[in-house]
Amino acid sequence: MFNILVVDDSETMRAAIRKVVGMSGVPIGEFLEAGNGKEALAVLEESWVDVILSDINMPEMNGIEFLKRIKAEEVYSNIPVIIITTEASQARMDEAEALGASGYVKKPFLPETIKMILTDVLESAYAQRMKEIPAAPPVEEADEDMDF
């Protein structure tokens, strides 16, 4: 199960994303929400999050500043961040990618686009996590002649 944090100043957009994610088939644990980057940082302090979907154009702390902040914190830096935004210029997408965003979805979006990118990002994050777990020592085969 994956915990998902959606950061968007529009409550209706968060509700719409919740619906799309719910229909995506991705196993969801908790669906967490924040109205801007500042609120999202507070959520991260309290809850385990597997993936973040964040808007850019938000009051208080925008998505680019939020991305910079979490990539600078060792404890959060491995959480994949997917940017979902209206700001669709190539320059903005390149900036988000350079800051460590794992994906970029342009609003308006089709539900299939969210599903595809979320699945891809979670699969790569899961594979990466598996690689990082140290391999267990080989289990020695039991000696057949061993007497108990």
- Which residue matches tokens 């900036």? 95
Q: How many whole angstroms separate alpha carbon 88 and alpha carbon 112?
A: 18
Q: How many whole angstroms separate alpha carbon 48 and alpha carbon 32?
A: 10
Q: Which amino acid is at 70?
A: I
Minimum gap (Å) between residue 52 Cβ and other proteins:
19
Check the CA dihedral 33-113-24-119 and report its sign: negative
Strands 28-34 and 81-85, bridge-based pairing: unpaired
Q: How far is CA 144 from the centre of its chain?
A: 49
**10 touches other proteins (CB under 8 A):** yes
Give the residue with the Cβ less far from other proteins, 95 or 125.
95
x/- track of binding to other proteins for residues 70-109 (CB under 8 A): ---------------xxxxxxxx--x----------xxxx
Minimum gap (Å) between residue 99 Cβ and other proteins:
14
Give the residue with the Cβ less far from other proteins, 3 or 39.
39
Minimum gap (Å) between residue 20 Cβ and other proteins:
10
Give the residue with the Cβ less far from other proteins, 9 or 39.
9
Minimum gap (Å) between residue 138 Cβ and other proteins:
53
Check the CA dihedral 14-16-22-26 and report its sign: negative
Where in 12-51 is the site for other proteins (CB under 8 A)? Answer: 12-13, 15-16, 19
**68 touches other proteins (CB under 8 A):** no
Q: How many whole angstroms separate alpha carbon 66 and alpha carbon 72?
A: 10
Q: Rule CB under 8 A: which residues touch other proteins?
A: 9-13, 15-16, 19, 57-59, 85-92, 95, 106-110
